[in-house]
Structure 1
Amino acid sequence: MDEKTTRILPLLPLRGLLVYPTMVLHLDVGREKSVQALEQVMLDDQHIFLSTQKEVAVEDPSGEQIYEIGTLSKVNQMLKLPNGTIRVLVEGIQRGKITQFIDREEYLEVEVELMEDQGEKDLETQALMRTALQQFEQYINLSKKVTPETLASVQDIEEPGRLADVISSHLSLKIKEKQHILEINQVKDRLNHLISILNNEKEVLGLEKKIGQRVKKAMEKTQKEYYLREQMKAIQKELGDKEGKTGEISSLRDRIEESDMPETIMEIALKELDRYEKMPGSSAESAVIRNYIDWLINLPWTKETKDHLDIKRTEKILNEDHYGLEKVKERVLEYLAVQQLTNSLKGPILCLVGPPGVGKTSLARSIAKAIGRNFVRISLGGVRDEAEIRGHRRTYVGAMPGRLIQGMKKAGTINPVFLLDEIDKMSNDFRGDPSSALLEVLDPEQNNSFSDHFIEEPYDLSKVMFITTANSLATIPGPLLDRMEIISIAGYTEVEKVHIAKNHLIPKQLKDHGLAKSQFQLKEDAILKLVRNYTREAGVRSMERQIAGLCRKAAKQLVSGEKKRVTITARNLEDYIGKPRFRYGQAEMEDQVGAATGLAYTTAGGDTLSIEVALTPGKGKLILTGKLGDVMKESAQAALSYVRSRAKEFDIDPDFYEKTDIHIHVPEGATPKDGPSAGITIATALVSALSGKPVRKDVGMTGEITLRGRVLPIGGLKEKSLSAHRAGIQTVIMPKENEKDIDDIPESVRSSLAFIPVSHLDEVLKHALVGDSK
């Protein structure tokens, strides 16, 4: 036998106690031999061997009455008590086996073979440790004898043998059972045996808790009430759970059979209900199935609202809610007319495109109101996950349907007006491409069997009237754009804005601010000044904010008693909201040489653009200023090349470009300017500067030119015409190909302007230059 593993130590027999390695324990020692053994230990190295007696009643045990396996321990502290006993603090160090008893007269001494834990820490051992910890945690929750802090200290133990010993020390076991654990030297066997004991203890504790045998007799009133309530809950759960679920199943079956779902869907729902009935309530899948059945029941499958196919009534509602927007209204009325004739037309997919604030979302709501359908809106701005459209598969925790199905549930019918807001703001990442998922939704040939990952069964979206909105078409993928009918809403004219303010915004703000019509009045000239000088936008949001500000100031004056009635006109408008924030272009006061007035289109409507040309002695250098974009720079180059090629016809020195520098400037250099509509304006200003002929002050122009002098069509003629009318211009020169757009211009503006369609620059110069007869 190895000397290192064998030691001769004093023996301290224990009665009704057992010490595991690493365990620290207080002992009261009173027997004479035990006291002598302790005194000997304190004289030596403080090490003693602790082993338990087989029979507690034996006062002076012999070797056969003591268990062979015990624990090598260290006496850390010894204290003599007044009654003659000694209290010692011992700490278990290592298992040991008694190989020989040495009976001295004063105390017992033993020869001990020290034992090391056997078994390596592999994956199986780790699994056993984890299981033991879980079982011990559950034991603590049931037992209430072990504090939660004990669990925290046990969880930090990494050695499997020590873990088993520490857990065993906290269990309320008989000495024989504890001794059996102490005698198991193989770590895996020890953990397996411990897990078996924990399982048994849990069952016993569970039964004790249910029966209520461990209720304390002395209990405070609040504790007693709490315990009784908890006990009542437990009894109700034990007695009523089965009946409660049976009642729930019966209720769900009735709801399924009374719902409007098709037979195939009903079969699936009843099949899932059978699975739910057989599944225990504690199962995670039980909640998923319950949620799925709820969705199948609550989704509209055949329920639909009846359209109000009265064209005149619908047109009246749309006109009341929205001024202008004739093309959109016309398209909706066309749809209803065809629906009335065929009664089977699939829902159209309209895409309203325009700047913020022009009323795209409110228009969709008005369409639903006009035709008597339910309205539902979802915003797609910032959506990056394909599951937002198609839903999650039910295998995921927290799975739910996509926004389309959620919207249909909210609508409650299969034919609502469904608004997909901000469709141009979607993006994609590693979670998929939601715009691709929308392809099926917005295709009239496919959406009669839309597939959602959560619902899994085909769902009919063909009767839905989809309306989408976007600020720009540039970011919408081509295949998605191809499935939609684009309706552009460029913005409101000044006339339309004034009308909207009078009929919609002012009454709304008066109501919101508690004002009566007799207390507050905003004159039409003040509204026009508000539109021109205080807002610059395509829509009416900023104007509504300004009107709200005026209402607040009026409310303050009325409440404070300063005035009994507030009337705001163009003259006193500045007193309420300060100096004008914007200015608009004005026609020239007299004919100018080298200066022409162009018409520009901006996101806030139209505006005039003055283009100036200055000539200085030089070598033909072309200078462009005014923060011009590439398109306008190229327009200036093309205009100059055309003027050079036709110099003789324009009475211009053919060699001007060899001895003259040309400076073209567009005022307001801080504002970026670009776009293909300034060509004829630049060319006219160049010819005027080089020939000395002035440009007519009352003429505005728009159009692009080629090197051969042809005038190309432009966009935004309506907005440009409005800016010309506002600036006091009387004649508008425009490309001949834009004649079709004149009908879009309001009658009040069209009647006060003279439109001259041109197809060549010669025609432009004929009408623009003073005294030009060519």
Structure 2
Amino acid sequence: MPETASIVMPSLVPLYPLREIVAFPFMIFPLFLNGDELADFEELLDREQYVALVRARGEALPGQLPPLCQVGTLCKVDQITRLPEGGGKVLLEGVVRVQVLEVSRAGRTLHARCEPIHEFVEKSLVSDALVQSLNALLKIALSYGRPLPDDVMKMIDLIDNPARLADLVALYVSLSLDEQQQLLETIDPLERLKKVYMHLTAEVQRLQVKGEVQAEVTKRVGKSQKEFLLREQMKQIQEELGEDDSRSAEMIDLRRKIDAAGMPVEVRRIADKELKRLERINPASPEYTVSRTYLDYLAGMPWRVATQDNNDINQAETVLDEDHYDLQKVKERILEYLAVRTLRERMKGPILCFVGPPGVGKTSLGKSIARALGRKFIRMSLGGMRDEAEIRGHRRTYIGALPGRIIQEIYRCGTNNPVFMLDEVDKIGLDFRGDPASALLEVLDPEQNNSFTDHYLDVPFDLSNVMFITTANLLDPVPSALKDRMEVLSLAGYTDEEKEKIAVRYLIPKEVEENGLAQTPPDFTAAAIYKIISDHTREAGVRNLQRNIASVCRKVAKELTQGKPHRETIAPETVDEFLGPRKFFNEVAAERDRVGVVTGLAWTETGGDIIFVEATRMTGKRELILTGSLGEVMKESARAALSFVRANCAEWGIDEQLFESSDIHIHVPAGAIPKDGPSAGITMVTAIVSLLSGRAARRDVAMTGEISLTGRVLAIGGLKEKVLAARRAGVRTVLAPARNRENLEDIPIDVQNELEFIFVEDVREALAAALQ
């Protein structure tokens, strides 16, 4: 090869742009050209023997020179060969690096004014070490199957010039065109050698990993081939015996699932026995499917699979506060459970029962508890369930038998300690198929459910790690035995202030998102929210409040899509426009005081409500007429009230002869709604005394309490719900039994400040406060 010092470069050198390769000094390579390009090279060979090859960075724009790199290689044209199919091959030999100073065009040919780049190599310990290391790396690469020609290896062993060695090795390392160009532009030979060494090191590492992977693949393939041969032999044996290979594989897979299930010893013994039985059953038999399904359930049950509880009480409290407003007693009970769980790893799961009117957050509270504990959540509705098999499952003797819902849900869940919510436990039915409530007795008993036996599985399963939560609107329909197994937590209705906070924190952001107003959310004023609460809803929970907020958001979205001005603020007048005239009125404040009409308080499954007890007298034969769809308990309260008034009529100046010649009619309006309960006795006494004495009853005084024949006022339940109903209706004074004075602490302070409470022990105290 010619030396750099012996090269005589003309002032202008023909330039050929490269796109697929990068040319290096001392590199011999072919260049394939089309007819026009070949003609230019033949003409060039007649006049000159050198050409500059420079990498093009992109395509040339019309009428412009192509974008070229600044450093290229001066190459000598050794040979030109024409090919039979057209075009030709030019054999080139790299000579020296050149710096491109200027490029010009003459016809189809580019010319460049170039300057050769002289390299100065000073031998040192570093350069010798790099050369030796590079030689060693190349041999390692060769040992991993890197194809290098023998003459190249011999040439590399003889080269001691770092510059030439770096250029030569760069040709045989897998580098991108950009990386090759960077090496070409690296003028310092020692620096270039370092870069090649780093690239070659990375290449050897890739080859090592590739070799390890190939070895592992070869090992596995060898194992697979061995298994294949064994399976082929087994298949041949089974064919001779008339058996099927797919069934054998199915049995092996089922055996593997049983081994991995972690069953208790007794259950594993039953599973092994059933599997042996399954192997002997003909697959065409119906028994085969029954047995196979049974084993699938046994192997799929989470016998030892459980999620890790989050024992961080502070984080759990934060999660509960994020999801629900107030409900302090329930949250406190959950935190107590977590505290005990932190101190004692093994404990029986509590059976909580949330009782309260619809819409107060019973079901959603179960989801929050699961999120706070870090457990999976299961919800199962019991409403309308009448078949005991829904709980305990069917025996396998029946066609299409399945486990009960308890086992099915835990099977799907995949863990043995979920939060399991049994919704609407007070709405379970009863018929000839059994009593589901009785079937729940074992499920919801912490002393028994560690060995719950489903009729289908017929083996005990431990439910003691499950946290069962039940919900109900009323406790009365729940059987006493079932009620005894649960810890009852009452969720009363919300006050207007609490509803306003719930709307701001939870309901409005949710409905704004649901109705596509997240980008332009309307601002609900506090007055607008209170107007929706007072004029358009009358409930203990917040479901109707949420529906009305959703209705407002939908109307805002409709106006927005119609191109109307955007409602940035929802004011009270906007509520009237969107929701129409008010639906509920202040029933007490709108009426005047009347004789024989008394305001009472009642508890319903939807929260508290006010009732009006009306009494009237007519000429008759001492009959007591009761109307208003009253239950037996209320009818008995009415008879007791009349007896008490007759026995003590002189105290209120009532002529006893009135009873002899009159019929008394007691009516409770809204007769289509059934009413019953023991807390209306004091209201009926007041109505009868008001009627017979001619003294009007104060309409803004509401009362609740049962009476005895001696006039004692007996305790009642649901005081908070009744007080909230009185406040909604505009009542100013509440009469309640003295024995319920302790329940006052359950009533919010702001409600206590708005109302006057009079606690009475005798009905005479109530009459003095209620009658004018």
* TM-score, normalised relative to structure 1: 0.62
CA RMSD of aligned residues (A): 3.3
1:540 — aligned with what?
542
- Structure 2 counterpart of 1:499, one-letter code: K
CA shift in 2, pair 1:481/1:628, >3 Å? closer
CA shift in 2, pair 1:642/1:255, >3 Å? closer
- Counterpart CA distance in 1 for 2:593 and 2:384 is 53
- Counterpart CA distance in 1 for 2:283 and 2:469 is 43
Offset of residue 381 of structure 1: 3.4
- Counterpart CA distance in 2 for 1:446 and 1:630 is 38
CA shift in 2, pair 1:697/1:451, >3 Å? closer
Work out whether residues 588 and 698 of structure 1, in 8 Å CA contact, stay in contact via their aligned partners in 2: no
2:318 — aligned with what?
316
1:223 — aligned with what?
none
- Structure 2 counterpart of 1:261, one-letter code: M
Offset of residue 760 of structure 1: 0.6
CA shift in 2, pair 1:689/1:286, >3 Å? closer
- Counterpart CA distance in 2 for 1:267 and 1:426 is 37
- Counterpart CA distance in 1 for 2:752 and 2:365 is 27
Offset of residue 705 of structure 1: 2.2
- Counterpart CA distance in 2 for 1:490 and 1:673 is 20
1:391 — aligned with what?
393
Deviations 1:632-680, CA, capped at 9 Å, x for gaps: 4544443343333333333444544457765655555565554333333
* Bigger Cα displacement from structure 2, 746-755 vs 279-288: 279-288
1:340 — aligned with what?
342
CA shift in 2, pair 1:705/1:264, >3 Å? closer
Offset of residue 769 of structure 1: 3.7
- Structure 2 counterpart of 1:343, one-letter code: E
User: Which SS does the other structure have where 2:754 is aligned?
Assistant: coil
1:395-410 counterparts in 2 under 5 A? 395-410=397-412
User: Which SS does the other structure have where 2:299 is aligned?
Assistant: helix
1:497 — aligned with what?
499
1:137-536 counterparts in 2 under 5 A? 242-516=244-518, 518-536=520-538
- Counterpart CA distance in 2 for 1:624 and 1:281 is 71
Offset of residue 749 of structure 1: 0.2
Offset of residue 277 of structure 1: 4.3
- Counterpart CA distance in 1 for 2:524 and 2:345 is 47
CA shift in 2, pair 1:520/1:732, >3 Å? same
Deviations 1:537-576, CA, capped at 9 Å, x for gaps: 4433333222222221111001111121253333332321
- Counterpart CA distance in 1 for 2:670 and 2:736 is 24
For structure 1, the 5+ residue unaligned runs are 1-234
CA shift in 2, pair 1:593/1:307, >3 Å? same
Deviations 1:153-184, CA, capped at 9 Å, x for gaps: xxxxxxxxxxxxxxxxxxxxxxxxxxxxxxxx
- Structure 1 counterpart of 2:764, one-letter code: D
2:643 — aligned with what?
641
- Counterpart CA distance in 2 for 1:679 and 1:438 is 37
How many pairs does the alignment contain? Answer: 535
Deviations 1:300-348, CA, capped at 9 Å, x for gaps: 1112122222333222322222224333333322322222233222011
1:555-704 counterparts in 2 under 5 A? 555-587=557-589, 593-613=595-615, 628-657=630-659, 664=666, 666-667=668-669, 672-696=674-698, 698-704=700-706
1:187 — aligned with what?
none
* Bigger Cα displacement from structure 2, 480-489 vs 411-420: 480-489
Offset of residue 742 of structure 1: 0.9
Work out whether residues 639 and 705 of structure 1, in 8 Å CA contact, stay in contact via their aligned partners in 2: yes
- Structure 2 counterpart of 1:464, one-letter code: V
- Counterpart CA distance in 1 for 2:364 and 2:554 is 25
Deviations 1:56-107, CA, capped at 9 Å, x for gaps: xxxxxxxxxxxxxxxxxxxxxxxxxxxxxxxxxxxxxxxxxxxxxxxxxxxx
CA shift in 2, pair 1:390/1:644, >3 Å? closer
For structure 2, the 5+ residue unaligned runs are 1-235
User: Which SS does the other structure have where 1:462 is aligned?
Assistant: coil
CA shift in 2, pair 1:560/1:720, >3 Å? same
- Structure 2 counterpart of 1:417, one-letter code: V
- Counterpart CA distance in 1 for 2:247 and 2:658 is 98
Match of 2:760 among 754, 758, 762: 758
CA shift in 2, pair 1:474/1:683, >3 Å? closer
Deviations 1:656-708, CA, capped at 9 Å, x for gaps: 44577656555555655543333333333444454454544543322222232
Identity %: 55
User: Which SS does the other structure have where 1:756 is aligned?
Assistant: strand
CA shift in 2, pair 1:674/1:244, >3 Å? closer
Offset of residue 491 of structure 1: 3.7
- Structure 2 counterpart of 1:514, one-letter code: G
Work out whether residues 358 and 606 of structure 2, in 8 Å CA contact, stay in contact via their aligned partners in 1: no
CA shift in 2, pair 1:459/1:671, >3 Å? closer
- Structure 2 counterpart of 1:458, one-letter code: P
1:53 — aligned with what?
none
- Counterpart CA distance in 2 for 1:457 and 1:538 is 45
Match of 2:709 among 680, 703, 707: 707
1:727 — aligned with what?
729
Offset of residue 759 of structure 1: 0.3
- Structure 1 counterpart of 2:510, one-letter code: K
Offset of residue 403 of structure 1: 1.8
Offset of residue 406 of structure 1: 1.3
CA shift in 2, pair 1:308/1:633, >3 Å? same
1:104-119 counterparts in 2 under 5 A? none
- Counterpart CA distance in 2 for 1:280 and 1:372 is 45
User: Which SS does the other structure have where 2:588 is aligned?
Assistant: coil
User: Which SS does the other structure have where 1:562 is aligned?
Assistant: coil
Work out whether residues 597 and 699 of structure 1, in 8 Å CA contact, stay in contact via their aligned partners in 2: yes
User: Which SS does the other structure have where 1:418 is aligned?
Assistant: strand
CA shift in 2, pair 1:706/1:452, >3 Å? closer
Work out whether residues 339 and 345 of structure 1, in 8 Å CA contact, stay in contact via their aligned partners in 2: yes
Work out whether residues 536 and 604 of structure 1, in 8 Å CA contact, stay in contact via their aligned partners in 2: no
User: Which SS does the other structure have where 2:455 is aligned?
Assistant: coil
CA shift in 2, pair 1:719/1:267, >3 Å? closer
User: Which SS does the other structure have where 2:572 is aligned?
Assistant: coil
Work out whether residues 425 and 478 of structure 2, in 8 Å CA contact, stay in contact via their aligned partners in 1: yes
- Counterpart CA distance in 2 for 1:482 and 1:748 is 35
- Counterpart CA distance in 1 for 2:690 and 2:679 is 19
- Structure 1 counterpart of 2:450, one-letter code: N
Offset of residue 437 of structure 1: 3.0
CA shift in 2, pair 1:264/1:701, >3 Å? closer
- Structure 2 counterpart of 1:405, one-letter code: I
Deviations 1:581-635, CA, capped at 9 Å, x for gaps: 3334223776655544333333333333344555678887766565555544544
CA shift in 2, pair 1:518/1:669, >3 Å? same
User: Which SS does the other structure have where 1:608 is aligned?
Assistant: strand
- Counterpart CA distance in 1 for 2:434 and 2:601 is 45
Work out whether residues 519 and 564 of structure 1, in 8 Å CA contact, stay in contact via their aligned partners in 2: no
CA shift in 2, pair 1:483/1:720, >3 Å? closer
- Counterpart CA distance in 2 for 1:733 and 1:469 is 31
* Bigger Cα displacement from structure 2, 413-422 vs 678-687: 678-687
User: Which SS does the other structure have where 1:328 is aligned?
Assistant: helix
- Counterpart CA distance in 2 for 1:755 and 1:263 is 64
* TM-score, normalised relative to structure 2: 0.62
